[in-house]
Chain A
Amino acid sequence: MTKSLLQQMPPRFKKPSLWTWLLSIFFLAFFLQGLLVSEISLERMIAGIGNMGRFLSSSFPPNLSRLPIILRAMIETFQMAIVGTVIGVLLSLPVALLISKNTTPHPLISSVLRSIVTLMRTIPDLVWALIFIISVGLGPLAGIFTIVIDTIAFCARFFSERIEEVDRGSLDAMSSTGAGKFGVYASMVIPVCFPSFVATSLFSVEKAVRSAVILGLVGAGGIGIELSTAMSLMKYDEAFTIILIIFMVVVVVEYTSGRIRKRFLL
């Protein structure tokens, strides 16, 4: 009896397959090579701390002389984020309904759209910004387009994941009243998913505000261009003002969206 139990007992360790071995070795080598490339060393770290101190000391006190211009750029950044997110969210909803397995009119439409959304997500937003700057020129429009793409890539996916959680029975309950596809969407799918849609959209506003700041660095409108100019002219006190303002706006946006989210996620 005990003998057969021993035989049935799973071993402590399983022998990894050849593939696991090869992959582990490859990954380890890749990681070590990466560490070497970054030329990490104690002297550089110490020097870095010194440089950081010099940057901080030369940025105090923050230079407020260009505050009105900086504020206007910040407002532009925030507006880019809001306009881009709102348009993005509005477009995400139909895309999500077309993608989700339980609401799509045809599996083919679903898989085609799904790959387009994945493509949107896999290309980084800075690359999208560069593409839009080439097509519509420098300025906030390129930034807004980038944020729209970014928002669809993010929201369509999460909207659709939520929609797919709506069970068949709930959809049937509305179909059984004689409602058509759009009736079922409007009376069951969208209301049931609404709290989650709101939460996702608010995350995407937060994301968009941060990304709108960065987009300015490549000239897609907003405060980023001010920051990069101040940095390259070594006006660290002005750069510091800009960083403080960005920090405050991001904190306020995250706080507000957190509050709204709490109200909706009952």
Chain B
Amino acid sequence: MTDRAIIEFQNVSKTYSSGTQALKNISFRAQEGEAIILLGHNGSGKSTLLRTLTQFEPVTNGTVIFQETNMQMLNKKQLRALRRKIGFVFQNFHLVENLSVFQNVLFGALGRLPLIFPSFAPLAAQSERMKAMACLDRVGLSHLAARRAGQLSGGQQQKVAIARMLMQDPEIVLADEPVASLDPKAGIEIMQLLLEIVREKKLTMICTLHQLDLAINYAERLIALRDGEIIMDRRNKDLNSAQLNWIYENAKIQTAKRGAQA
């Protein structure tokens, strides 16, 4: 791990046109190779934070820096070149269900290749086809390459989405609630797979979660958000039991509050 910050948020605020203030003055740096878990409840702003990094949501105030580049200052082409380096895994997988698993993974190459048609299975170069199979093999699904993506279980679909993300040769990984639509067993499997991949390829990862137990198990660094503000930013090994208790208590208070509102 070097000391170079690969991602930096400087006083970032985001207010949606509806008036909701999703992020309030967020500042943090992510070092290269760090695996960060963003913990927070629904509506705490954690998805918005990831989406501002790829400029899916422009920020209202502040600066988002990725690889020493201010993401707000880019033209379309430069933005695409940087997005190519950012692998994104979503809660709902977002595969094309009526196409094959293999084709879905090949689409991960869209940003790397100068043209569109070499990403289509019948026209792709043999090297890309091999690479897609290798990515599928890494997530353990090469035997399902010819299946339609929609026929797979949720956990398998998320693995295909991870293979698609690998296909784009990312330098960082953003995962937005990657296990929220999976059963607990598949969820643990996906979290382990993601972390293994991130470590073996020495990638930086920011992953949002709302389950405290998963977050504590897998975080090297834990950032907790509440109402768009960072309320805690700690490396996991620094967490003593008092702090863990504090997080648990906080989670309880939050849950109780939400229960009372409902």
Binary interface encoding of chain B residues 62-92 relative to chain A, with 1 for a CB under 8 A from any of its CBs, else 0: 0000000000000010001111111110101
Within 8 A of B (CB), among A221-266: 266
**Is the C-beta of A177 less than 8 angstroms from some C-beta in chain B?**
yes
Within 8 A of B (CB), among A191-205: 191-192, 194-195
Within 8 A of B (CB), among A171-227: 172-180, 182-183, 186-188, 191-192, 194-195
- Report the bound CA distance from A91 to B97 in whole Å: 26
- A169 touching B94 in the complex, CB below 8 Å, given contacts A177-B84, A180-B80, A186-B116: yes
Across the interface, which residues of B come within 8 angstroms of A170, CB to CB?
94
- Report the bound CA distance from A28 to B83 in whole Å: 62
- Report the bound CA distance from A176 to B94 in whole Å: 12
Q: How large is the interface on A (under 10, 10 to 19, 20 to 34, 35 or more residues)?
A: 20 to 34
Across the interface, which residues of A come within 8 angstroms of B108, CB to CB?
177
- A176 touching B86 in the complex, CB below 8 Å, given contacts A186-B116, A187-B107, A187-B110: yes
Count A-B contacts at CB 8 Å.
Answer: 77
Binary interface encoding of chain A residues 100-141 relative to chain B, with 1 for a CB under 8 A from any of its CBs, else 0: 000000000000000000000000000000000000000000
Across the interface, which residues of A come within 8 angstroms of B256, CB to CB?
none
Contact B98 A173 (CB under 8 A): no
Q: Among A169, A178, A182, A192, which residue has its beta carbon within 8 angstroms of that of B84?
A: A178
Across the interface, which residues of B come within 8 angstroms of A182, CB to CB?
116
Contact B96 A169 (CB under 8 A): no
Other A-B pairs, 8, CB within 8 Å; known A172-B94, A173-B90, A177-B109: A174-B110, A175-B56, A176-B56, A179-B80, A179-B111, A180-B76, A182-B116, A194-B98
8 interchain residue pairs of minimum CB distance: A178-B111, A178-B84, A173-B94, A179-B110, A176-B88, A177-B111, A187-B107, A183-B110
